Structure formats: structure tokens, C-alpha cells
Amino acid sequence: MKAKLTAVLIKEIRSNDLTAKEWLQETKSFLYQRGLGANSSEAKYEKMHPAPFSFTDVSKLLRFFTKRGSKVLDPFSGVGSTIKASLELQREGFGVELEPKWCEISKQRLLQECDYSIDDEHLICGDSRNLTNYFAPDFFDFIVTSPPYWNILEKKDHKANQRVLNGNATKYSENIADLGNISDYRQFLDELSKIFLDCHSLLKAGKYMCIIVSDFRHKSEFYAFHADLLNKLTDKTSSRSFQLKGIKVLIQNAKKLFPYGYPFSYVENIHHQYILVLQKQK
């Protein structure tokens, strides 16, 4: 009887449902991005968004950082990849999205791909600056997202031109409240970090938040976006500070190469993202 109770207790307090072998593989400091595939019928919704968050990437994070029945939040929901992954893995997914267009596309996607008619409690079409008004404290078991990347989507390059040719959006929205429309980088960083610091109160003690970001180039300057954001979120002078538990490199080896800088200067093709693994201390 005692052994049975011990097994039940371990199951309750463990972080996920993975086996030891599966757990070990997920502790690598890198992973290769795996999309749905160019010919997948399910890829069409992700392609609509100018900066899609891959359903397959978020699924891997959900398997490690949550168990069945966990409550998961994506504060920048986009076209609903996190909610879809949550449904398929038997988690309870929530999303907040500013732009009505992406909210409607998310509803269509979830209905078509998951036979799920989402309600206004689980998909809030609103501003993530108001997260603490939408949800109660200590409500979520996991928070995961890929946030806006400042206003760099407005620049005209090979990738943007290709999206125009394919009839897809090249920016998040025209909404003045959209973080992607802020012109000053420092202001953008301040606004974004405030949202993530608000997430601190929504997350249960000891639980994790994963933020998928990429560094980027704007005109002639290179921005170490992941480092700038981490400095804001791990400031120990703040009562809402997170502890950094690791940085996983998401390798995007399938991305197309462009001849930036050729033949005069070194300009990187940025083919990786960072997964910032942050924990709310107990």
C-alpha cells in the first residue's frame, strides 16, 4: 500500500509524462526545427502569418514542461499553434491575440483541424498588456510564446518580397497598439518586457515560461534581442524576476539562403532562434 501511494505521489509532483529516456533527449541545448512540411494541408494557416510559431516546435515544449490537463497560455497567440498543440496533447490551451484577423483565422483553424469550437475564455481577442485583468494569479502551469520582433517585418528584403508574391501578410497588423508597430527599439523592449513580467503573477510557483526569439539585423546594426530581453526579465532587483534555467538553440536548417553582403561584407543568414527557459521561483 505504501509503495502504491509513493507512486501516486511521484506522478503528481513530476514535471511531465515522459520516460527517463525521453527526458534525457530533451535536455540537449539544441533542437532542429521540424515544420509541418511544405505540402501539408495543415501548413496553410501557419503560412498566413508573417512570423509563424511552428506547431511542431511548441508540441515538443509542451511534452517536456507540462502534463495532461495542464493549463497553458500563449500571450501572443497568432494563428493558434499553441492552442492546437495543447488540444492534441490533452492540455488546456489559452491564447491572447490583439489582431481580430488572426483571432478569426485561429478559430477557423481549430475548427477545421481539431473539430474544436473555441470560446472567448480560451481565446481572448485583446491586448496582452491587460493579462492580469484576463486571468487570475497562479493560474497557469506553463507559458510559451514567440513574441513580436519589433517593426523589422516592415523592411523590404527577399523574404518579404516572396510573401507579397504569395499573397501573404508582411506585418502583424496596422493597429497602433501593436508592439510590432513601435518605431523605437528601447520602447518596444520596455513594453514587451512589462507583459512578460506580468506573466510572473499568472504562473504557478516553480513553473516555467519559454520564449522563442531570434536576434535580428536592422539596417546596418545587429540587435542581440534575446540578451536584451533576458536582462529585463532576470533583474534580481525586481520582485517579479524570473530565474534563467537555460537557453536552447532552435536550429532552422531548412531555411533558404540569401546572398546578403556578397561579395563585399559578412552578413549572416540567421538560421536559428533561442528558446529562453525561465522559471518562477517557489
Residue 10 lies in a domain: no
- Range(s) of the domain holding residue 56: 17-279
- The whole-number pLDDT of residue 7 equals 43
d(CA 96, CA 142): 14
- The whole-number pLDDT of residue 153 equals 66
- The whole-number pLDDT of residue 2 equals 46
Task: State the number of CA atoms in the 13 A half-sphere of 92 facing the CB.
Answer: 9
The answer to whether the CB of 179 falls within 8 A of the CB of 246 is no
Encode pLDDT of 264-280 as tens digits: 999 999 999 999 999 99
Residue 61 lies in a domain: yes
Residue 8 lies in a domain: no
- The whole-number pLDDT of residue 156 equals 57
pTM: 0.90
CATH of the domain at 202: 3.40.50.150
Task: State the number of CA atoms in the 13 A half-sphere of 191 facing the CB.
Answer: 20
Block mean pLDDT (10 aa), the chain, length 282: 45 83 95 76 77 87 97 96 96 97 96 96 97 98 94 61 56 86 94 97 98 92 96 93 97 90 94 97 88
Residue 55 lies in a domain: yes
Give how far the C-alpha of residue 86 lies from the chain's centroid of Cα atoms, to the nearest Å. Answer: 13
Q: Which three cell numbers stand for residue 245?
A: 534555467
Domains in the chain, number: 1
Q: CA-based Rg of the chain, rounded to a whole angstrom? A: 19
- To the nearest 10°, the Cα dihedral for 158, 160, 165, 168? 150
Residue 135 lies in a domain: yes
